[in-house]
Amino acid sequence: MPDSLLFGTEVLLNGLMAGVLYALVALGFVLIFKASGIFNYAQGVMALFAALTLVGIMEGQVPFSHLINAAFGTDIHHFGWHVPALVAIIITMVVMVFLAWAVNHFVMRHLVNQEPIILFMATIGLAYFLEGFGDLMWGSDIKKLDVGLPQGGSFWIEENTQWLGFGNENFYGFFLDKLDLVATVIAAILVAALVIFAQYTKQGRAMRAVADDHQAALSVGISLNFIWIMVWSVAGFVALVAGIMWGAKSGVQFSLSLIALKALPVLMLGGFTSIPGAIVGGLIIGVGEKLFEFAIGPYIGGATENWFAYVLALIFLVFRPQGLFGEKIIERV
Amino acid sequence: MKLKLATWATAALMTASPVLADLVMPSLSFRTGPYAVGGIPLADGYADYFTMVNERDGGIGGVPVRVLECETGYNTEKGVECYESTKGEGSLLYQPFSTGITYQLIPKVSADGIALHTMGYGRTSAANGKVFSNVFNFPANYWDAASVAINYLLDENGGDISGKKIALVYHNSAYGKEPIRTLEKLSEKHGFELLLLAVDHPGQEQKSQWLQIRREKPDNVLMWGWGVMNQVAVQEAANIRYPMENFIGAWWSGAEADVLPAGDAANGYKALTMNGVGKDFPIYDDLQKYVYDAGLAAGAGNQTGTVLYSRTIYAGFLAHMAILKAQEMHGVADITQAMMVDGMENLEITDAMMEKYGVAGMGPEFSVSCENHGGPGLGAVTQWDASAGVWNQITDFKVSDKSIIDPLILEDSMAFAAENNIAERCN
């Protein structure tokens, strides 16, 4: 088989995997938008905060240790224990639920029925607060995240796809990252669970009702506080999963919050209100940007992925302004 | 009457009080933001060096040093704000550790008569002191780094790298693109094939670039990265099982934070350095005694001995020597900004000085002149030992290929001079 076809296929497969990782970030945005009509600018920072908290708990780090030491002249940094990954993930989830409660209690409940732009501005404030709070709580230095996920290319896939080259010496099997494969499985489970939750459970239906109209939902007895805390908690869980996957690649550090940039074109393409849309959008963006970089990148200096993702999203927007799976909004006057 | 009395009383008090002189050393730090991982050790090292000087020697020439820290978040606009808000304090020397901020400060420091030191970053052609009166980039610059890397590969390959394929994975920014021209010239000279792979900011997603490396199978990969790009690149290289000993990062891609997330897989990765690494320098005994044990360490006090911390210990030492030189030249201890520029321009670093101040071997001997603000252009290669968790220096400081670099510096600096109507000095 010709090199370009083999390598193009490899790029396509890796694009699909990258798309899943983008979709993991986009899912958090979709959940909150679906339930409250808020574009949560803080979603990327939530992923960072969740990952910081997870590593901090696993390593037995004393939260706010710098602050405590500065105030009391002590020199404490660690509790001296290590917490197993699974237990640490559960404790982190509890922290994220508490964060959801705090966001609702101190910010969102005061903004019921406000314009979407006001709610958006509130999440910008929340992002900056959480960024500083995370630094203060766990420190700014880079942290290795090891929850036991496999890393590196899969030997098995490489060996068992080598025959596809039909003797082509330049081809030695497809490269697929084991971490990406795990992320794909986790994303598939997550999406299935979230779709079932949103479509077939009482709380899911209540969540959608709140998204349509806060006051109408209140009038039929839906607790806005409960729904918002629930949704922010679920978004916190999705942020934790995204934080683990991305943090395993680069270590846990401030830059993790920038993964939100990768989610924006996915949302534009898939729609802000569709969970499957986030996945399909992620896959299209992932494959599109990787294939473009592979085929066209070398002729125009490379590094095309960031901007091409947005170009691709904008092309889709021309034909489907609400995104591929977004709800068509018809407003009558 | 009361107002008059109060005015007289205030005036009398001011006359009677001794003037508290100090040597102000601004530190444009970035302890927050996407590059905080690199910014924290840089800021801590610089602050701890001058704390040690104050505690051990009572300052420099009897005048205490005041480190004036201003947080930039590695943001160019904030960096300029920091400069504007601190220059009036009598700031002697700026070291922003950001190429973006450096480019904005070059015209400002030249107009204000303040010294700017950009060791191993910033505008490479600032090495030409005939054009850049207030900017210094000794002991080495980006182009030196590119040449030192190629010289190292020449040494490794018996002096012949013709026909080899060398890839450059670079941050798609002014910083990342700096070595390209030098490498292109070197590729013409030595006959190697240069493969350029750009990575967009911030560099969290590099799958395309590393798949291309897997396809192209370059003999060596060089990296000009910063921040999260470094950690991801090292991890991706490990993922495709690229031989780490053939992977060489620039000196801003060779700190502990760059390799720790990849764990054992990063073992053998190499990086350039312009300063000695590790804690095996007598200055660390003084830092222990006068700074750490006294509870005066900057930040969390957990960066001691890291590559970037040592880099600003070295930067602090060079600034210290420049202040001493200025004091000696002008016969005053409380030097001015203009005197500091003189101190920088007449700086001479000898082995005896480095021995005396506990930094023997941390850098090369060199001297600065009106014409040459770039120093000797020496660099060394370090290698990461993952099991011990340390960087080891595996070569001596070696010289770059000046026959390639000097003409490039001259060409670029003269173009800058023509654009900005700068008359040559030092004639």
Among candidates A146, A153, A305 on the partner chain, residue whose Cβ is nearest the Cβ of B208:
A305
Considering only CA atoms, give the Rg of chain B: 22
Q: Do A254 and B205 touch (CB under 8 A)?
A: no
Helix (H) or strand (E) holding A193: helix A178-200
CA pair distance B230, B258, nearest whole angstrom:
5
What confidence score (pLDDT) does residue A19 get?
Answer: 93
| Residue B351 amino acid letter | D
> Which of the two residues, B198 and A249, has the higher pLDDT score?
B198
Give start-end residues of each CATH 3.40.50.2300 domain in chain B. 22-140+278-376+407-419, 143-273
Query: What is the rounded end-to-end Cα distance, in angstroms, of chain B?
Result: 61
Interval B241-253: pLDDT, tens = 999 999 999 999 9
Q: Which residues lie closer than 8 Å to B192 by C-beta, 6 or more apart?
A: B150, B161, B162, B163, B164, B165, B166, B186
Arch. (CATH architecture) of B143-273 = 3-Layer(aba) Sandwich (3.40)
How remote is the C-alpha of B102 from its chain's centroid?
A: 11
Mean of per-residue pLDDT scores for chain B: 93
| Residue B288 amino acid letter | Q
| pTM for this prediction | 0.90
Tallying the residues shown for chain B, one arrives at 427
Interval A166-182: pLDDT, tens = 877 778 889 999 999 99
Around Cβ B215, how many Cβ atoms within 10 Å? 17
CA pair distance A3, A291, nearest whole angstrom:
14
Beta bridge partners, B399, equal B378
* Chain A residues within 8 angstroms (CB to CB) of chain B: 3, 7, 10-11, 14, 17-18, 66, 77, 131-132, 135, 139-142, 144-146, 151-153, 170, 175, 177, 246, 249-251, 253-255, 258-259, 262, 290, 293-294, 297, 301-303, 305-307
CA distance A141 to chain B (A): 5
CA pair distance B96, B106, nearest whole angstrom:
11
Q: Is B248 helix (H, G, I), strand (E, B) or coil?
A: strand
Among candidates B207, B212, B260 on the partner chain, residue whose Cβ is nearest the Cβ of A251:
B260
What confidence score (pLDDT) does residue B181 get?
Answer: 94
Among B419, B316, B402, B401, CA closest to B362: B316
What confidence score (pLDDT) does residue B346 get?
Answer: 97
Structure tokens of B125? 């052609």
Q: How many degrees, rounded to 5, is the angle at CA A308 between CA A267 and CA A320? A: 45
Q: How many degrees, rounded to 5, is the angle at CA B149 between CA B145 and CA B151? A: 115
Structure tokens of B359? 């930094």
> Which of the two residues, A261 and B111, has the higher pLDDT score?
B111
pLDDT range class, residue B379, cuts 50, 70, 90: very high
Residues of B in contact with A177 (CB under 8 A): 207, 239
Q: Do A305 and B215 touch (CB under 8 A)?
A: no
pLDDT reading at B407 higher than 70 = yes
Q: Is B393 helix (H, G, I), strand (E, B) or coil?
A: strand
What confidence score (pLDDT) does residue B17 get?
Answer: 47
- Tokens 């001297």, located at residue: B367
- Check: complex ipTM more than 0.85: yes
**Is B43 within 8 Å of chain A by CB?**
no
Q: Which residues lie closer than 8 Å to B313 by C-beta, 6 or more apart?
A: B45, B46, B48, B49, B283, B287, B359, B362
What confidence score (pLDDT) does residue B4 get?
Answer: 60
Q: How many helices (H) and strands (E) does chain B have?
A: 14, 15
Interval B41-50: pLDDT, tens = 999 999 999 9
In chain A, domain spans: 3-261
Q: Is A321 helix (H, G, I), strand (E, B) or coil?
A: coil
Q: Which residues lie closer than 8 Å to B194 by C-beta, 6 or more apart?
A: B166, B167, B168, B183, B184, B187
Q: What is the mean pLDDT of residues B347-369?
A: 96
- A273-287, B187-201, B276-290: the lowest-pLDDT one: A273-287
Query: What is the rounded end-to-end Cα distance, in angstroms, of chain A?
Result: 60
Q: If you measure CA to CA, which chain B residue comes closest to A3?
A: B215
CA pair distance B154, B109, nearest whole angstrom:
39
pLDDT range class, residue B408, cuts 50, 70, 90: very high
pLDDT range class, residue A301, cuts 50, 70, 90: confident
Among A139, A117, A122, A121, CA closest to A48: A139
Where does A43-177 have alpha helices with state H? 43-58, 65-72, 85-106, 116-138, 155-161
Among A132, A185, A97, A158, CA closest to B33: A132
Among A173, A168, A170, A171, CA closest to A155: A173
CA pair distance B339, B319, nearest whole angstrom:
13
Q: Is B271 helix (H, G, I), strand (E, B) or coil?
A: strand
pLDDT reading at B113 higher than 50 = yes
Residues of A in contact with B211 (CB under 8 A): 7, 10-11, 14, 175, 294
CA pair distance A124, A41, nearest whole angstrom:
6
Structure tokens of B323? 């202040």
Interval A130-153: pLDDT, tens = 999 998 999 888 899 989 999 888
Residue B416: phi, psi to the nearest 5? -65, -40
**DSSP labels for B180-198?**
HHHHHHHHHHH--EEEEEE
**Mutation for testing the A interface, residue in B165, B204, B256, B309 having most A CBs under 10 Å:** B204
What confidence score (pLDDT) does residue B18 get?
Answer: 47
Among candidates A153, A262, A290 on the partner chain, residue whose Cβ is nearest the Cβ of B241:
A153
Interface size A-B, in CB pairs within 8 Å, comes to 118
CA distance A30 to chain B (A): 22
Q: Do B31 and A140 touch (CB under 8 A)?
A: yes
CB-based burial label for A71 (10 Å; 0-12, 13-18, 19+): exposed
Please report, for residues A176, A254, B24, B261, B268, the alpha-carbon distance to residue B387 in angstroms, rounded to integers and kept in the order given: 27, 26, 41, 13, 10
Question: If phi over 0 gives left and psi between -120 and 50 gives alpha, with beta otherwise, what is residue A124?
Answer: alpha
Q: Is A325 helix (H, G, I), strand (E, B) or coil?
A: coil
Interval B52-79: pLDDT, tens = 999 999 999 999 999 999 999 999 999 9
Q: CATH for B22-140+278-376+407-419?
A: 3.40.50.2300
What confidence score (pLDDT) does residue A31 get?
Answer: 87
What percentage of chain B reaches a pLDDT higher than 90? 90
Contact B224, B171 (CB under 8 A): yes
pLDDT reading at A218 higher than 50 = yes
Residue B202: phi, psi to the nearest 5? -90, -10
Q: In this structure, what is the dihedral angle of CA atoms A72, A74, A75, A81, given to the nearest 10 degrees?
A: -100
Mean of per-residue pLDDT scores for chain A: 89
CA pair distance B108, B135, nearest whole angstrom:
11
Helix (H) or strand (E) holding A27: helix A3-36
CA distance A174 to chain B (A): 10
Contact A270, A322 (CB under 8 A): no
**Mutation for testing the B interface, residue in A142, A146, A256 having most B CBs under 10 Å:** A142
Q: In this structure, what is the dihedral angle of CA atoms B278, B281, B282, B284, given to the nearest 10 degrees?
A: -30
Interval B155-201: pLDDT, tens = 999 999 999 999 999 999 888 999 999 999 999 999 999 999 999 98
The CB-based long-range contact list for B331-339 (8 Å cut-off, 24+ gap) reads B333/B21, B333/B60, B333/B61, B333/B62, B333/B63, B334/B21, B334/B23, B334/B63, B335/B23, B335/B92, B336/B90, B337/B90, B337/B91, B337/B92, B337/B112, B337/B113, B337/B114, B337/B115, B338/B113
CA pair distance A7, A27, nearest whole angstrom:
30
3-class DSSP string for B25-41: EEEEECCCCCCHHHHHH
Q: Count Cα atoms within 13 angstroms, Cβ side, for A173.
A: 14
